[in-house]
Amino acid sequence: MKNLLTYCFIILLNLFFFTNCDDPNPTELFLDDTAVEDDIDDVELTPSKPGTFIYTNGYDSTGIIDPLPRRRSVVFLSGAKYTLNNILQHEINHAEAVFYDRNRPVQTNTGSVVGFHSNYVGRVLFGNDSALVRNNRVSFIENGIQKNVNAGLKYVFSKRVNIETGANKFPFGQRLLFRLVNPATGNNIERFQIPTPEEITGSVQTSGSVDRGNLKIKLQWSSNRNKAGKVKIIIGGVLKNTQLNFPVFDINVRDIGNTNIPKWIIDLIPFERFDSLIVTFIRQLEFVGARNSVSEPRLNDSFIVAQSIHNVIFIP
């Protein structure tokens, strides 16, 4: 089974890096317990087609949001921190809300849909903090050229956390009030509480080397108190000459605090394309479905996610 999956991934990597397929959907392989460590549930090869188009705003250090939203409204909260060479560099409390018009797609020159326009619907507050109104930019690389499309407006709140004092710290393991307010009257159009996950802190331990072909990667993180649920781990890197964060593997594991990356996955990482590697640990709570809102119908088709993120940057 392991040999078969490894063979399939080699074929997929060759297709993704060297062909001009326009299908942006990721190819997903589900692993059984005989193939890899039994704490890994599934591995997904993320979209990666430099010859056609690559989303550059779908994978960043404050969270991951689907550039092709399945819902008309998206709200996400992120507490994100960054470690470089085992030293915590900085931490951010970040939140966004986007209200999409799915009748107005953003398309490439070949007609592939890479996003949707979005609208202003009122004033948004996360807790007691007002979100700023910003351009909703859809970015992608098409035929080697980066393109940025202003696709309406979105709501953004972001504050740097004081690492020494904890000021502006994301409210992990609590609830955060979301409010949509009529700017003319000050009345609430919609309000609800968003539960947040426990904070995740990860670390990467390596041994061996890429050159000798014996690199080993062990991941550890602060498991939640009841060791239930899943943690998403994204393995990617900083592309040479671009400084773009580029994902390669999306791995879902049980939230038990540690896992070893199987050798067959390590062997498929294109190290030669990266200046450094990034391992992103994500613990999240997702809420999908209707809010039963009369005043803002888009909230009746919503995707809400709260996540704790730790980005670990290193050179293997």
**Average pLDDT of the residues of the chain:** 78
Q: At 138, is the pLDDT very low, low, confident or very high (cuts 50, 70, 90)?
A: confident
Cα dihedral value 111, 63, 268, 25, nearest 10: -30
Output the furthest CA–CA distance in the chain (Å, rounded). Answer: 67
Q: With bands split at pLDDT 50, 70 and 90, how would you rate the model's confidence at 45?
A: low
Please tell me the predicted confidence (pLDDT) of residue 296.
Answer: 64
Q: Rounded CA gap, 26 and 44, in Å?
A: 7
> Is 80 exceeded by the pLDDT of residue 144?
no
3 state DSSP class of 84:
strand
Instruction: Report the SS3 class of residue 273.
Output: helix
Check whether 302 has a pLDDT greater than 70: yes
Among 19-33, 84-98, 128-142, the range scoring the smallest mean pLDDT is 19-33
User: How far separated are the first and last CA of the chain, in Å rounded?
Assistant: 28
Rg of the chain in Å (alpha carbons): 20
Residue 173 pLDDT more than 60?
A: yes
Q: Is there a contact between 76 and 46 (Cβ–Cβ < 8 Å)?
A: no
- Give me the amino acid identity at 164: E
C-alpha–C-alpha distance, residues 156 and 76, integer Å: 10
Is the confidence at residue 301, as pLDDT, over 50? Answer: yes
CA distance 290 to 297: 9
- Taking the domains of the chain in order of start, what are their residue ranges? 2-314
The predicted pLDDT at position 9 comes to: 35
User: Exposure of 184 by Cβ count < 10 A (0-12 exposed, 13-18 middle, 19+ buried)?
Assistant: exposed
pLDDT in tens, 266-289: 998 999 999 999 999 999 998 876
Q: Quick check: 200 pLDDT over 70?
A: yes
- Local confidence band at 13 (pLDDT 50, 70, 90 cut-offs): very low
Which residues are registered as beta bridge partners of 230? Answer: 254
**Cα 130 from Cα 225, distance rounded (Å):** 32
Q: What is the pLDDT of residue 248?
A: 85
Which of 117-126, 221-230, 280-289 is predicted most confidently? 117-126
Q: 34-48, 64-78, 198-212 — which is least confidently predicted?
A: 34-48
Q: Which of 9-18, 25-34, 100-109 has the lowest mean pLDDT?
A: 25-34
Q: Between 228 and 118, where is the model more confident?
A: 118
Residue 17, pLDDT above cutoff 60: no
Share of the chain above pLDDT 90, in %: 45
Alpha carbon dihedral 144, 150, 156, 158, in 10-degree steps, equals 40
Residue 99 binned pLDDT confidence (cut-offs 50, 70, 90): very high
Region 65-94: mean pLDDT is 85
